[in-house]
A and B are shown apart, each in its own frame.
Chain A
Amino acid sequence: MLKVDQIDVYYGNIHALKGVSLDVAEGEIVTLIGSNGAGKSTLLKTLSGLLKPKKGDIQYLGASVAGKPVQDIVKAGISHVPEGRRVFANMSVEENLELGAYLRKDKQGIREDIEKVYELFPRLLERRKQLSGTLSGGEQQMLAMGRAMMARPKLLLLDEPSMGLAPLLVKAIFNIIEEINRSGTTVLLVEQNANMALSIANRAYVIETGKVVLSGTAAELQASDKIKSAYLGGH
């Protein structure tokens, strides 16, 4: 579905990604783990079109999307939930969801999808008229994910959904990611919480200082000593 081929990306003067390649097959949950500043968010931003690769290519559903405008990429079915949620704090929960469907014209379908998001996240239904800036971190994460789902993505990019959340909430969020995946959306998940990420992923890539240093199935990486000591808090 997605094939990233040897991309080089600069973030200002910083050479943030160096020849990164990875692929994601339809229906998978693929996770990208690595420490702070390894280039995980840069990769997602490049996939969603916020950043342009200097070199290399990104193939999505058989066509190149490298350097395409963001709105074209969203239209093609890639939605990006950015790090830190980035909900529109000055707007209500429902307005945020409507903005998620900005490129769609089917009013009826949008209405139905808003109801679906409320089914997935009942907390949002309770707060639909509330300004999203007043939500808790967990609720904002739910809103950011619901908002991304409003574009009916085929591929969902999630950047650190567990950041700053209590363990119980992290679990709830990850259950929902699995549910979203079961209903047919492919997921590329960036996480620092490698334990959680590997527990729901099919495959994983490990990224260090802008390079993919390791990849394999989630089970393989969970068993790898190197990963255990560096990311899973083992010995």
Chain B
Amino acid sequence: MKRFFKENWLVIVTGIVVGVAALLLQALGNPKNMGFCIACFERDIVGAVGLHSAEAVQYVRPEIIGIVLGSCIMALIGKEFRAQAGSSPATRFAVGALVMIGALVFLGCPLRMLLRMGGGDLNAFVGLLGFVIGALVGTIFLKKGFNLGRAYQAKKTEGFVLPVIMLVLFALALLVPSLFHVSEKGPGSMHAPVLVAFAVALVVGALAQRSRLCMAGGVRDTLMLKDPHLLWGSVAIFVVVLVGNIILGNFTAFSFLSQPIAHSNHLWNLLGMVIVGWGSVLLGGCPLRQLVLAGSGNGDSAVTVLGMMAGAALAHNLKLASGADPGLNESGEYVKYAVTTNAKVAVAMALVVLLVVSLCNVMRKKKEA
């Protein structure tokens, strides 16, 4: 037991802080079950700068900026800032885009999946099943020798690219807000006060950097290495959010229906998160971890984040992103959101591309051996 706490206390504390932070940001104005959502918030930023025109999801989310800068500061303090790049950046960009598309079909990244689970949304448990299946497939390829090649030391400036982009974005959002699109209704219009969200995210980013918190890593290491260390962080988030929602009166019951910013098309929730789990394992970390690594100087993760942002623009411009269930109609029947044909085709294509990327990089390794 002593050994357990010695090995896992930091990741558990980080999970607890992330859970409390999510509840706090939700109470202060963020959408329900969306105290944090890396995919949704990156998508909101993409909309704010005009790269997609979905009016309901445009806002410069300070949470993303804070996580990158918090991890950057912590990496510098802890002498863990490493400017590195060169590990298949184009592949990472593409897989990052696919992960975003999968997340937006499901309506959330793995972190929001945990928050939705803790809010009683059973659709997120379907998403969890998909995420675990995806991570398992990615893990099988890792065991067969998949990797995206080594990175090399880069100039220090390379490591600061994403933190500086975030710093400039934040400064512009504060000083010249008229530059950006801002939602007047919908999820993008719902947000906690800017400086509070930024401060909370700084702490989360710093702790996530120190503890290596990663939802995909938790599932991957448990399945592949029988090492549940990172998984305890995810468990802590879920437990804290569930208990917190019950205490705060946000929780009514576990249900598939009428969940906040969620739909109940099980197959597409499942497949969307298969893409996220599989892609995240290939990339070496979930969307949160990619932000943290990019803040710690990893140029490949910075490219992945930019790929995710490109994926968000595609998802909304090509009508791949899902919407919430409309709910009860006038005659009292529950109406589900209709996942678009474009989204179904995109999910199928994404699965094929992930398979090709996985196979090609296993074969490359075999040829090199």
Do the two chains belong together in a single complex? no
